[in-house]
Amino acid sequence: MAASPLACSKGTWSGPRIGLIVPRFKHSAVARNQIKRRLRELARVQMLPTGMLADIVLRIRPEAYNASFDSLAADIIRALTQLKRWHEAIGDMAFKSEVTDCQVSDTP
């Protein structure tokens, strides 16, 4: 799984927005929907409470289809830790009231 903060802007929303990219990788629609449900629940429980102002895109890799829920949770926590480091590296610009826009680009 890979995660990247894309952009943030003051006043447009009150928390993280999370998007999922779940390619088929030769799996059925049932398998894709199952992995999306799992990721949505993990994002709801782990990422939304942070209040981080960012668009977060989670793109799964083929091995995620066979991963356990606990393994996916560990990946989400790892991605969240990385996102927090990026926010600290840019001086938490997303949380400063004087900043209207910020861009972070780091391709994993």
The model's pLDDT over 79-99, given as tens digits with 9 standing for 90+, comes to 889 888 887 777 655 444 333
| Domains of the chain by start residue, with CATH | 2-103 (3.30.230.10)
Burial of 3 (0-12, 13-18, 19+ CB in 10 A): buried
Contact call for residues 6 and 99 (beta carbons, < 8 A): no
Distance (Å, whole) CA 48 – CA 106: 21
The model's pLDDT over 33-90, given as tens digits with 9 standing for 90+, comes to 999 999 999 999 998 888 777 788 899 999 999 999 999 999 999 988 988 888 777 7
| Phi then psi dihedrals of residue 103, to 5 deg | -125, 135
